[in-house]
A and B are shown apart, each in its own frame.
Chain A
Amino acid sequence: AQSVTQLGSHVSVSEGALVLLRCNYSSSVPPYLFWYVQYPNQGLQLLLKYTSAATLVKGINGFEAEFKKSETSFHLTKPSAHMSDAAEYFCAVSSRVTGNQFYFGTGTSLTVIP
């Protein structure tokens, strides 16, 4: 079975500072990993995905994530936070075997301080 753990339910950063949101996965085989963002009263939007090509994945809005098998991690980063980045971020995992089942982490709420 797959699962993801997001450390830190709330993260606050100053505008222009580095954003780091943590995600660790648990899976018997390397899974597919995703980061989604959700703005208030909206659905989830895909930021980026890891499917085993490059371990450093670049996404939209300047975000990127690095897959580290040795650490079973897939942390999301952005060099410089913008006010518009304030949102809820979810890490998700799906199986390479049963691709139709996605499991979401508990989410991290990002606050950007002006």
Chain B
Amino acid sequence: DTEVTQTPKHLVMGMTNKKSLKCEQHMGHRAMYWYKQKAKKPPELMFVYSYEKLSINESVPSRFSPECPNSSLLNLHLHALQPEDSALYLCASSQGAPAGDLWANVLTFGAGSRLTVL
């Protein structure tokens, strides 16, 4: 299995709703990432989990709350979002450890969850 699976593919929510995005991989990767991508822009790193511990938080507002229940799953909990948070949210994974040419990790991306905040 060489895929990263994201659900749901599309999500519409109001500013008072609580929802979650889910990401799953079964490649044995130990690093998992959340990226946010606006139209015609590059992905922006939000969070990195390494060996199920949060290792990077790129100063993301607290209305976004990541969770890594185990090495295969990554969630992004959403609460009290703003319309400007509407974007494509991409999950990715990588080996997360020196392998081959040392830190030559390669990101494998999911297809993304398209979020619209009304």
Contact = CB atoms under 8 A, between A and B. Distances in A.
Contacts of A101: 45, 48, 56
Contacts of B50: 100
Given A100-B56, A104-B43, A107-B41, A42 B111 contact: yes
Given A44-B109, A100-B50, A52 B45 contact: no
A94 B103 contact: yes
B42 A105 contact: yes
B61 interface: no
B72 interface: no
A74 to B, nearest CB: 15
A42 B100 CA distance: 29
Given A42-B112, A106-B42, A51 B100 contact: yes
A32 B48 contact: no
30 contacts: A32-B101, A32-B103, A34-B106, A34-B107, A36-B107, A36-B109, A41-B112, A41-B114, A42-B112, A43-B4, A43-B111, A44-B92, A46-B108, A49-B106, A51-B100, A51-B104, A52-B101, A92-B107, A95-B103, A96-B103, A99-B103, A100-B31, A100-B48, A101-B48, A102-B45, A102-B107, A104-B42, A104-B43, A106-B41, A106-B42
Interface in A45-103: 45-46, 49, 51-53, 88, 90, 92, 94-102
Contacts of A104: 42-43
Contacts of A95: 103
Contacts of B55: 100
B109 A99 contact: no
Interface in B87-102: 88, 90, 92, 94, 96, 98, 100-102
B105 interface: yes
Range of interface residues on B (Cβ < 8 Å): 20 to 34
Interface string B42-59: 110100101000011000
A45 to B, nearest CB: 7
A61 B58 CA distance: 34
A3 to B, nearest CB: 11
Name the 8 nearest CB pairs between A and B, nearest first. A99-B103, A43-B109, A104-B42, A51-B104, A51-B101, A44-B109, A43-B111, A99-B105
